[in-house]
Amino acid sequence: MKYYMIDAFTDELFKGNPAGVCLLEKELPDSVMQKIAFENNLAETAFLLKKDSTYYLRWFTPEFEIDLCGHATLATAFVVMNYVEPSLNQVEFETKSGRLSVVRNEDLYMMNFPSRMPAPIQMDQTLIEKALGCRVLEIHSSRDLVLLVKDEETVEKLKVNKILLSSINPDVSFGVIVTAKGESCDFVSRFFTPNAGSDEDPVTGSAHSSLIPFWSQRLNKTQMVAKQLSKRSGVLMCEDRGERVTISGKAICYLEGNIRLN
């Protein structure tokens, strides 16, 4: 099958978040897709299958399938609109999170995702603060834990204890988002997945399904610019549209090749 590795949420190689994109010619057993994702050893590998005129998209971490992945969706749309059907400026995917659309506007790819407003929850902050090495002001939860801290510098300079962070009950959330109001943009974040086969995700589109409504309410803004402050870093153009959010970014191809299964 054709295979691509795309750096998403950036227009520079070795920045943003790398995702694998597999173009399926036929359905594969879940177990085989899981082995491919493990072999690729990226945060997410996307599997795209076209039936008739419909694209079906799934995402796998090295450990398990997930229900929503932003950077791998952007990467897949980039592949479709540059290598598969370059005449397209919009593509729709059927996924476990419903129908997702991506629109191309020059070199920006705008994704339309469900909004997931996090709700405040009560948790023992002692372990979390030890794991992050900083004070946590508020704890919220949607798919992920959303931890509000003092400022952008605190997010940037986090010294995370991976062992302690992984001991947080994995049933509470998929990942851990640490966020603060931005100084160089509207808001910043970092995203950790200690129980999903990786430590820190470079740029996480799906986390912004929660961050966008969270910060839109606090900043009283619908259009925002966000930065994820990982070592690779990335920029996301965000808009709150009520029950939906849009997340826009750029992408660049690092690798094009073939996966051989026999």
For residue 262 the two structure tokens come to: 């026999």
Contacting residues for 86 by C-beta, under 8 A, at least 6 apart: none
Q: Which of 12, 25, 44, 63 is catalytic?
A: 44
E strand or H helix at 8, and its extent?
strand 2-8
Distance (Å, rounded) from C-alpha 249 to C-alpha 10?
Answer: 7
Contacting residues for 63 by C-beta, under 8 A, at least 6 apart: 38, 196, 197
* Residue listed under structure tokens 């940037």: 156
Whether 39 sits among the annotated catalytic residues: the reply is no
Closest CA to 19 of 55, 47, 43: 43
Distance (Å, rounded) from C-alpha 232 to C-alpha 229?
Answer: 8
- Which are the catalytic amino acids? 44
